Amino acid sequence: MVLVAALAGVLCGSSFAAAPGSGGSVSASEQTCRACHSIDTTKVGPSFRAIAERYRGDSDAVAKLKKSMLEGSSGKWNTGAQMPPNAISAADAERFAGWILGVK
């Protein structure tokens, strides 16, 4: 498990930093997300690609994802886990949401 998490961290290492318009490093909050998410494998939470696919075409997607990140989420993805509220700013949540929705 630890190895898997470490690997995913390496593989996804520069992804957030490469997000368009990211304007600098994302630091600690980004590390937290990676404990539970990766780009294309389900970990504790759904993969970012699966999230992008589910919300594609939803004009409220950014608002919905932002709310989930800030307030926490459970029961939507049937992972058997829940996401606690994340200690990130609304601006960061919006940026993450935009980035996740752009994952192809």
Q: Which residues bind ligand HEC (CB under 6 A)?
A: 29, 32-33, 35-37, 44-46, 51, 64-65, 68-69, 73-77, 79, 81-84, 86, 88, 96, 100
* H-run or E-run covering 1: none
Measured from the CB atom, the residue of 7 and 89 that comes closer to ligand HEC is: 89
Rounded to whole angstroms, how far apart are CA atoms 60 and 21?
A: 20
Rounded to whole angstroms, how far apart are CA atoms 16 and 13?
A: 8
> In the complex, what is the shortest distance from the CB of residue 3 to ligand HEC, in angstroms, rounded to a whole number?
18
> In the complex, what is the shortest distance from the CB of residue 13 to ligand HEC, in angstroms, rounded to a whole number?
15
Type of residue numbered 30: E
